[in-house]
Amino acid sequence: MTEVIALETKTEMSIQNTKKILEKYPKDKRYTLAILQDIQRNYDYIPKEAIWEVSNYIESPLSEVYTIATFYKALSLKPKGKYVIKVCNGTACHIRGSDKVLDAIKSSLNIQPGETSEDGLFSIEIVNCVGACALAPVMVINDKYYGNMTKDKVHQVLDEIRRSQNE
Amino acid sequence: MKVEINGKMLNANEGETILELAKRNDINIPSLCHKKGFDGLGRCRMCLVEIKEGHRTKLVSSCVYPVKDELKVQTHTDEIIKIRKDIVMLMYLKSPKNKYVQKLAEEYEIMIPEKYVQKISDDCILCGLCVEACRELGTSAISMVNRGTGKKVSTPYDDESKDCIGCGSCAEVCPTNAITMTENENTRTIWNRTFELVSCEICGKNYTTLETLKYSENLLGQKIECICDECKKKITAATFKESFKNIY
Amino acid sequence: MSSQRQILVCCGTGCLANNSYEVYLKFKDLISNKEIQIKPIIKPTGCNGLCEKGPVVKILPDNISYFKVKAEDVEEIIEETIVKGKIIDRLLYFDTNTKNKITDHKNATFYKNQHKIAIRNIGEIDPSKIEDYIERDGYAALKKVLFTMKPEEVLEQVDKSNLRGRGGGGFPTGLKWKTCAKYNHYPKYVICNGDEGDPGAFMDRSIMEGDPNTVIEGMIICAYAIGANQGYLYIRDEYELARKNMQIAINSAREYGYLGKNILGRGLNFDLEIVRGGGAFVCGESSALMASIQGKVGEPRAKYIRSVERGLWDQPTILNNVETWANIPPIISYGPDWFKEIGIKNNFGTKVFSLVGKVKNTGLVEVPMGSSLRSLVFEIGGGVIKDKKFKAVQTGGPSGGCIPKEHLDISLDFDSLNEIGSMMGSGGVIVMDENTCMVEVARYYMEFLSEESCGKCTTCREGIKLMLDILTNITKGNGKEEDLDLLLGICDTVEKGSLCGLGQTAPNPVRTTIKFFRDEYLEHINNHKCPAGVCKNLTSYQINSEACIGCGICKKKCPVDAITGENKKLHVIHQDICITCGECYENCPTNAIEIGGGIFES
């Protein structure tokens, strides 16, 4: 029972937050993408009810908002982990062994790209070029860049994050 | 204005597309994503034609390209025929079990690279006509989602859509019969939602969904009699006959 | 002023990744707490180009450049260099070409052969201070335009310079502006394409982060010339720092009266707004980008009416790429004749390249158009990492092609690159060595495009998928020779049948790799061997008995214990255990490990 209540309040709370985001923008279809990006930033993904809210606010059919939410890679419909590990697979990273970096992360976390670890701590994503090609191969964790990655460095970085979590 | 298609001089109207002009003059340009009454979409690429403007020739999709004075058009060059064959081949690889696509492949005498035929056949060729039909109606219950090779047509989250009225227009315009619409005694199921059917007051046959009827009434702002299209036609014909009787 | 020392700490994305911000803060902290007669000014700057050797710290006017500086080094730099004027040898740049240590980075081969126009200020100024930009002649071109030139004269100057769009297509900028100016259909719009999508290219990011004002100045000049009042900067979502610096620059430009109503009292109204990109490669295409600004899905539309006539919201629109905008102020300030002295005929000026991949000096470089690819890779770039064999260079991103060593002397300009089947693109130059598999590279690009195609045209969506399927098959060892004909046939259809540039150029990586590296394809198909050792199914490793010294490094590195052998004796790889990860190959000190064909079970 407590769980149900908790869930409900969370939903209410999130609608509240979405409303705050919406109020910043004029009621114009033009801002659909910008609004969705703000929501993405706020929740780390686009909750279902937020899409409803956006659709109502800008008076655009739900299907059209959904189309935009599924077209752009900056938006995600699935919740992500506390730490989102983006493995760059731009050309420079690709030929300098991004697959090995990815393998090391996958084996350390036991999840596949697009998945979130059971403890909700990590998600892996493969991205196309983060524009730090001179440091290839690169990974980005919550906007922090890690360059010249190797298998050993992956383990170091992940261990450090795990340790900081336990403290 | 004058437009030349395959060497024939034709009178073209301002604002029409090459495809419309060709159709008016019984010149066959194949097209899958074009339907009369809809704007051209330029998706399927079957209607590509070669145009010559000045010294330059290029390929354009005739369903969206507006006619211009002194435009020269070729509809069946070797290059274009090869591209059309490849398009049909590509569609076959995606939808090998679809009757319509199979027929096309036969018609175009396609050599199929069997190795690359998809194991799971998908009937949808993503022409987008269903989405257009739904949008034109003002319902916009379905849309194109995702992008690239993952693109598909669906309702948001594949859920039943509150905007869908079960009218079946999408299924009607679909060239490949890719949209499943099933009807039981009193219900119709489409896009994961089940609708109550309404029967015609005259013949008693189910002819539309309750939601569609309500939607139309809302649009018109008045009550609509529950009469199916066939019966409506019969009534019109009868009235017509009746009025003729009075004249003579 | 000039006698005052400046410490410039590079805070471009590359250096930030190596903790340059900590270095910057440490300098600030230590200097403020230290008794020095004339305190140096400490500035965070944009990218210096040589990202690999970052963080970069430059000390002016001494012209001392330190590389790979850590926060721990800061105290020593202050004590030794700032206080005593001594140079710290350990932090100097080592020039791999001349094998010398170099005090002033400008003397390094990497920088010496460059000619900076678009990135002239980057690394020299604090991008968040408009005053720094103004001090280096910033906004002088705008003043010249507003006070001494008519719009037609501006159009004429840009046209005369023959500047071609730096975003890839190479369309003459002046002609575009002139055409747009002709339409008396208002409002008009000016857009900056900062959605840099080509993997392996980051010059636009660097310019927006390191010198945002030059882009703004270029856009205002265009607005004056064509009669626009509103502009948009479409910037990639991932480029947080670029957006931040750009917004600071916009705000400062407003304060200085360069943006807003009645600019500099000359009656021009023009303002700028940043629009975040949504993360879609196809939005680099102009009609898709405009659709995205309008809040729609980034699907290109048929451009039978060009965007200079009907673009954003169906109004006349000028869209240029970041680097193009950065070229405008210098062209106006110094004139088209000055510009035409740089570069070669029909390709005047410079181009910024991001030199990346298997090359020693990776980073951002700006060279005159017409420089040779060889000089870019082997002089500025210092050659291939570990002096391995050069195989190819990929230019133009997914729309470009691979250029083999036979064509290393090709001139880097729009026309020569097109002729060879590649493209300038936004200027990514990705160096590939003997351990890069060209079939796999082609497959990689098709995979990229299959995700990034908007999915509208059948030819692009399904054609790219078929190409990807065929190439995947070949890399797995299931290819047949006739697959190459099928590939080339479908290349034609995708190119000719697709609506926008993405589809039309998608076959380039496939075509050029088949054209120049057919043998490598055939090795995969007929001999089940990936000569580069990349395709796992088609690779095995053997130890050359003559070269092995029995050091045991391979045994230690092997993650699955597939290697046995006694100390100082020949080691053996057990093929049944080996997972062909390549660790032994990478780490063998005597290159005794050889790549063999796949041990193939059909």
Q: Are residues B176 and B88 in the same domain?
A: no
Does B83 sit within 8 Å of C497, measured CB to CB? yes
Q: Look up residue C187 and give its amino acid.
A: P
List beta partners, residue C564: C572
Identify whether A76 is part of a domain: no
Q: How far A51 CA lies from chain B's nearest CA (Å)?
A: 10
Q: Are residues A100 and A148 in the same domain?
A: yes
Q: Given pLDDT bands bounded at 50, 70 and 90, which one contains residue C35?
A: confident
Q: How far apart are CA C555 and CA C542, in angstroms?
A: 13
Give the mean model confidence (pLDDT) for residues A1-6: 36
Q: Are residues C486 and C412 in the same domain?
A: no
Identify whether B244 is part of a domain: no
Q: Are residues B52 and B143 in the same domain?
A: no
Does C436 sit within 8 Å of A133, measured CB to CB? no
What are the angstrom distances between the C-alpha of C339 and each of B236, C118, C395? 77, 12, 24
What was the pLDDT predicted at A13? Answer: 53
Count structural domains, chain A: 2
Are A14 and B119 in contact by the 8 Å Cβ rule? The answer is no
Are C431 and C358 in contact by the 8 Å Cβ rule? The answer is yes
In what helix (H) or strand (E) does residue C100 lie, and over which residues does it extend? strand C100-102
Q: Are residues A15 and A55 in the same domain?
A: yes
Q: Are residues A97 and A161 in the same domain?
A: yes
In what helix (H) or strand (E) does residue C273 lie, and over which residues does it extend? strand C268-276
For residue A10, pLDDT over 60 is answered with no
For residue B41, pLDDT over 80 is answered with yes
User: Which residues from C are below 8 Å from B113, CB to CB?
Assistant: 486
Q: Are residues B72 and B85 in the same domain?
A: no
Q: Are residues B158 and B195 in the same domain?
A: yes
List beta partners, residue B65: none
What are the angstrom distances between the C-alpha of A156 and each of A98, A149, A161, C126, C482? 17, 11, 9, 34, 47
Condensed to tens digits (0 to 9), the pLDDT of residues C374-413 reads 999 999 999 999 999 999 999 998 989 999 999 999 999 9
Identify whether B122 is part of a domain: no
Q: Are residues B135 and B102 in the same domain?
A: no
CB pairs under 8 A between A and C: 139
Share of chain B above pLDDT 90, in %: 81
Q: How far apart are CA A37 and CA A21, in angstroms?
A: 10
User: Which residues from A are below 8 Å from C292, CB to CB?
Assistant: 33
3-state helix, strand, coil in chain C (%, to 5): 45, 15, 40
Residue where one domain finishes, among candidates A71, A97, A131? A71
Identify whether B180 is part of a domain: yes
- For the domain that residue A100 is a member of, what is the CATH number? 3.40.30.10
Share of chain B above pLDDT 70, in %: 99
Q: Are residues C162 and C241 in the same domain?
A: yes
Condensed to tens digits (0 to 9), the pLDDT of residues B54-87 reads 788 999 999 999 999 989 999 999 999 999 999 9
Q: How far apart are CA C276 and CA B204, in angstroms?
A: 57
Q: What does the DSSP 8-state code read for residue C590?
A: T
Give the mean model confidence (pLDDT) for residues B219-228: 89
Q: Are residues A155 and A89 in the same domain?
A: yes
Q: Are residues A49 and A102 in the same domain?
A: no
Q: Are residues B188 and B93 in the same domain?
A: no
Interface of C with B in 546-565 (CB under 8 A): none
Q: How far apart are CA B73 and CA B57, in angstroms?
A: 9
Q: Which stretches of C45-196 are DSSP H helices? A: 74-76, 109-112, 130-135, 140-148, 151-160, 173-182
Q: Are residues C239 and C96 in the same domain?
A: no
Q: Are residues A33 and A103 in the same domain?
A: no
For residue A151, pLDDT over 50 is answered with yes
Q: Are residues C303 and C157 in the same domain?
A: yes
CB atoms near residue B158 (< 10 Å) = 11
3-state SS, one letter per residue, for chain B: CEEEECCEEEECCCCCEHHHHHHHCCCCCCCCCCCCCCCCCCCCCCCEEEEEECCEEEEEECCCCECCCCEEEECCCHHHHHHHHHHHHHHHHHCCCCHHHHHHHHHCCCCCCHHHCCCCCCCCCCCCHHHHHHHHHCCCCCEEECCHHHCEEECHHHCCCCCCCCCCHHHHHCCCCCCCEEECCCEEEECCEEEEEEECCCCCCEEEEHHHHHHHHHHHCCCCCCCCHHHHHHHHHHHHHHHHHHHC
Best of B90, B91, B117, B119 to disrupt the C interface (most C CBs within 10 Å) is: B90
Identify whether A9 is part of a domain: yes
Are A77 and A117 in contact by the 8 Å Cβ rule? The answer is no
Q: Which stretches of C128-168 are DSSP H helices? A: 130-135, 140-148, 151-160
Q: How far A108 CA lies from chain B's nearest CA (Å)?
A: 29
For residue A2, pLDDT over 50 is answered with no
Q: Does B140 touch chain A (CB under 8 A)?
A: yes
Identify whether A77 is part of a domain: no
Are C175 and C216 in contact by the 8 Å Cβ rule? The answer is no
What was the pLDDT predicted at B108? Answer: 96
What was the pLDDT predicted at C49? Answer: 85
User: Which residues from C are below 8 Å from A30, CB to CB?
Assistant: 293-295
User: Which residues from A are below 8 Å from C16, CB to CB?
Assistant: 145
Q: How far apart are CA C157 and CA C152, in angstroms?
A: 9
Q: What does the DSSP 8-state code read for residue C400?
A: S
Q: Which residues contact C372 (CB under 8 A, 6 or more apart)?
A: C408, C409, C410, C411, C412
Q: Given pLDDT bands bounded at 50, 70 and 90, which one contains residue A1?
A: very low
User: Which residues from B are below 8 Å from A71, CB to CB?
Assistant: 145-147
Q: How far apart are CA C188 and CA C226, in angstroms?
A: 8
Q: Given pLDDT bands bounded at 50, 70 and 90, which one contains residue C600?
A: low
For residue C197, pLDDT over 90 is answered with no
Using CB atoms, list chains with 3+ pairs below 8 Å to chain B.
A, C
Does A63 sit within 8 Å of B142, measured CB to CB? yes
| Mean per-residue pLDDT over chain C, rounded | 93
Residue where one domain finishes, among candidates A44, A71, A98? A71
Of A62, A67, A71, which is closest to B163 when you measure between CB atoms? A62
Does A92 sit within 8 Å of C357, measured CB to CB? yes
Of B146, B147, B156, which is closest to A63 when you measure between CB atoms? B156
Q: Does B149 touch chain A (CB under 8 A)?
A: no
Q: How far B165 CA lies from chain C's nearest CA (Å)?
A: 25
Q: Are residues B98 and B37 in the same domain?
A: no
Q: Are residues B93 and B70 in the same domain?
A: no
For residue C601, pLDDT over 60 is answered with no
Residue where one domain finishes, among candidates C380, C398, C433? C433
What was the pLDDT predicted at C258? Answer: 98
Identify whether B174 is part of a domain: yes
pTM summary value = 0.92
For B1, the token pair is 């204005």
What sign has the CA pseudo-torsion A109, A114, A119, A122? positive
- For the domain that residue B35 is a member of, what is the CATH number? 3.10.20.740
Of C199, C294, C432, which is closest to A128 when you measure between CB atoms? C199
Give the mean model confidence (pLDDT) for residues A85-105: 94
Q: Are residues A67 and A105 in the same domain?
A: no
Which SS3 state, helix, strand or coil, does residue C189 take?
strand
Condensed to tens digits (0 to 9), the pLDDT of residues B116-153 reads 999 999 999 999 999 999 999 999 999 999 999 999 99
Note down the domain range covering B168. 129-239
- For the domain that residue C498 is a member of, what is the CATH number? 1.20.1440.230
For residues C497, C502, C506, C512, the Cα torsion angle rounded to the nearest 10 degrees is 120
Which SS3 state, helix, strand or coil, does residue C531 take?
coil
Best of B134, B136, B140 to disrupt the A interface (most A CBs within 10 Å) is: B140
Q: Does C459 touch chain B (CB under 8 A)?
A: yes
Give the mean model confidence (pLDDT) for residues A112-139: 91
Long-range Cβ contact pairs of C557-565 (< 8 A, separation 24 or more):
C557/C583, C557/C584, C557/C586, C557/C587, C558/C583, C558/C584, C559/C583
Are A109 and A73 in contact by the 8 Å Cβ rule? The answer is no
Residue where one domain finishes, among candidates A23, A48, A71? A71
Q: Are residues B72 and B89 in the same domain?
A: no
CB pairs under 8 A between B and C: 98
For B181, the token pair is 């619409």
Count structural domains, chain B: 3
For residue A9, pLDDT over 80 is answered with no
Q: What does the DSSP 8-state code read for residue A77?
A: S
Does A70 sit within 8 Å of B163, measured CB to CB? no
Q: Are residues C311 and C177 in the same domain?
A: yes
Q: How far B156 CA lies from chain A's nearest CA (Å)?
A: 6
CB atoms near residue A124 (< 10 Å) = 23
For A98, the token pair is 């991004």
Does B146 sit within 8 Å of A71, measured CB to CB? yes
Q: Are residues C297 and C180 in the same domain?
A: yes
Q: Are residues C363 and C250 in the same domain?
A: no
Q: Are residues C428 and C414 in the same domain?
A: yes
Q: Are residues C230 and C335 in the same domain?
A: yes
Q: Which of C34-38, C169-173, C522-526 has the lowest mean pLDDT?
A: C34-38
Residue where one domain finishes, among candidates C386, C418, C433? C433
Q: Minimal Cα distance from A34: which residue of C?
A: C276
| Ramachandran assignment for C550, one of left (phi > 0), alpha (psi -120 to 50 degrees), beta (any other) | left
What are the angstrom distances between the C-alpha of C280 and each of C19, C57, C191? 29, 35, 17
Q: How far C262 CA lies from chain A's nearest CA (Å)?
A: 26
Q: Minimal Cα distance from A71: which residue of C?
A: C297
What was the pLDDT predicted at B104? Answer: 95
Condensed to tens digits (0 to 9), the pLDDT of residues C427-444 reads 999 999 999 999 999 999
Does C294 sit within 8 Å of A30, measured CB to CB? yes
Identify whether C47 is part of a domain: yes
Q: How far apart are CA C439 and CA C452, in angstroms?
A: 20
Give the mean model confidence (pLDDT) for residues C362-370: 94
Q: How far C448 CA lies from chain B's nearest CA (Å)?
A: 10
Beta sheet of C268-276, edge-to-edge order: C260-263, C268-276, C230-235, C189-194, C317-321
Q: Are residues B11 and B92 in the same domain?
A: no
Give the mean model confidence (pLDDT) for residues C203-229: 97
Q: Are residues C275 and C194 in the same domain?
A: yes
Does C304 sit within 8 Å of B91, measured CB to CB? no
Q: How far apart are CA C327 and CA B203, in angstroms?
A: 75
- For the domain that residue C545 is a member of, what is the CATH number? 3.30.70.20
Note down the domain range covering C579. 539-596
| Ramachandran assignment for B27, one of left (phi > 0), alpha (psi -120 to 50 degrees), beta (any other) | beta
Are C109 and C380 in contact by the 8 Å Cβ rule? The answer is yes
Condensed to tens digits (0 to 9), the pLDDT of residues C47-103 reads 888 888 889 999 999 999 999 999 999 999 999 999 998 999 999 998 888 888 989
Q: Minimal Cα distance from A139: which residue of C?
A: C17
Does C436 sit within 8 Å of A146, measured CB to CB? no
Q: How far apart are CA C296 and CA C288, in angstroms?
A: 9
Q: Does C456 touch chain B (CB under 8 A)?
A: yes
Does B144 sit within 8 Å of A66, measured CB to CB? no
| Mean per-residue pLDDT over chain B, rounded | 93
User: Which residues from A are below 8 Å from C356, CB to CB?
Assistant: 91-92, 133-134, 136
Residue where one domain finishes, among candidates C526, C547, C565? C526
Q: Are residues C282 and C390 in the same domain?
A: no
Q: Are residues A54 and A12 in the same domain?
A: yes
Q: Are residues A59 and A96 in the same domain?
A: no
Q: Does C492 touch chain B (CB under 8 A)?
A: yes
Give the mean model confidence (pLDDT) for residues A14-29: 86
Note down the domain range covering A141. 83-166
Q: Which residues contact A5 (CB under 8 A, 6 or more apart)?
A: none
Q: Which stretches of A24-167 are DSSP H helices? A: 32-43, 48-58, 62-71, 91-95, 98-109, 151-166
Of C453, C458, C492, which is closest to B45 when you measure between CB atoms? C458
What was the pLDDT predicted at A15? Answer: 60
What was the pLDDT predicted at A155? Answer: 94
Q: Are residues B145 and B235 in the same domain?
A: yes
Are C363 and C200 in contact by the 8 Å Cβ rule? The answer is no
Are C402 and C513 in contact by the 8 Å Cβ rule? The answer is yes
Q: Are residues B140 and B69 in the same domain?
A: no
Condensed to tens digits (0 to 9), the pLDDT of residues C113-159 reads 899 999 999 999 999 999 999 999 999 999 999 999 999 999 999 99
What was the pLDDT predicted at C98? Answer: 84
Share of chain C above pLDDT 90, in %: 82
Give the mean model confidence (pLDDT) for residues C274-296: 92
Best of B146, B157, B192 to disrupt the A interface (most A CBs within 10 Å) is: B157
For B231, the token pair is 């019966």
Identify whether C79 is part of a domain: yes
What sign has the CA pseudo-torsion A51, A55, A57, A58? positive
Bond into C509 cis (ω within 30): no
Q: Are residues A97 and A155 in the same domain?
A: yes
Q: Are residues C302 and C188 in the same domain?
A: yes
For residue B44, pLDDT over 50 is answered with yes
What was the pLDDT predicted at B247? Answer: 64
Count structural domains, chain C: 5
What was the pLDDT predicted at C168? Answer: 79
What was the pLDDT predicted at A8? Answer: 40
Q: How far apart are CA B86 and CA C486, in angstroms?
A: 10
Identify whether C495 is part of a domain: yes
Q: How far A134 CA lies from chain C's nearest CA (Å)?
A: 5
Q: Which of A147-161, C3-17, C335-349, C401-415 has the lowest mean pLDDT?
A: C3-17
Of C17, C448, C451, which is closest to A135 when you measure between CB atoms? C17
